[in-house]
Amino acid sequence: MGALSVHARHEHVQHVDSTSALLSIPPELRNQIYHLLFTPPVYRPLTADYAVQYPSLADFGKDPLPYQERRPPTQKAALVRACRQIHHEANLLYLSTTPFHLIGAVADPVAFANLTSHLPADHRQAIRHIVLTARISHLRNLNETWNALPFGHSDFFLETLTLVPCRPETHLSAYAEVADLSQCHTLAYILAETLKGLRNVGVVSVRNEGCFNELIWRLAYRSLVFRLWKWGGRLLDLKFREDTKEQCFEVLCTITKKEDGTEGWKDVQTELTRLIGTDQDAIDGPQ
């Protein structure tokens, strides 16, 4: 995954087409069109052709020809490359509304810095949505090296951080159940330690895409909520929301939009009460 210089990226952006109908309308209307086109998409599970759904940061602005068979450009990317004027007007909006998918051992701040080193500072700071797919062992960087900031960068703010933990290598061995239980508690520990002080992230979403069976996944979520409650989670002002059908849960760290409010979200004690199925007064007290 090589990097492309800023000057080289511009070679793949066409010059202004003076006959374009889009460029003939007032800039205010063009901005409205850009906002409609660049509305963040609904999350879709990872597939074999994931790159079509989630552009890679390392490939942003690159010529799509070497990757045409497996990663044709999206409509949004094609619009940004239409001409230099549209690229100048819409590239930051494109970056801020596109979920970029990172795969492998790139949660480490150094690895992330190397991955995005070809991006100008304003481009990197415009990124608002990251989907990180990695083994649970690689997710340890979240609580060990991030220092409570996304990828360790103080000038980096994410509206959504989606984590997709990968299944342990031993899932087909005779010790699969033991390995799953161990990885389940490791994941809960990593998330709890990360969420205690995480800043500059709006919502953390964690999805189960073949990593654990339904029982183990539910245990991981219960363990996370319990750890945060035991630690004193109410002081963190975290909010929780679970989707059992999609096997995912979300943690609201910061209210990023006024219209989001707190609808559908539960504080740590209310969520723990729901998960263990007991009266809230029974667990109220030892914090």
Task: Give the count of beta carbons closer than 10 Å to the beta carbon of residue 16.
Answer: 14
pTM of the predicted model as reported, rounded to 2 decimal places = 0.77
Q: Assess contact for 44 and 53: CB atoms under 8 A.
A: yes
The length of the chain, given as a count of residues: 287
Task: Give the count of beta carbons closer than 10 Å to the beta carbon of residue 95.
Answer: 23
Q: How many CA atoms lie within 13 A of 97 on its CB side?
A: 17
pLDDT by 10s per residue, the chain, length 287: 222 233 334 444 455 555 567 777 887 888 888 888 777 655 555 554 443 344 555 555 443 333 333 444 566 777 777 788 888 888 888 888 888 888 888 888 888 888 888 888 888 888 999 999 999 988 998 999 999 999 988 888 999 999 999 876 655 555 566 678 888 999 999 999 999 989 999 999 999 988 888 999 999 999 999 999 998 866 778 999 999 888 999 999 876 554 455 578 999 999 999 998 865 555 555 54
Q: Report how far residue 38's alpha carbon sits from residue 97's, in angstroms, rounded to the nearest whole number.
A: 6
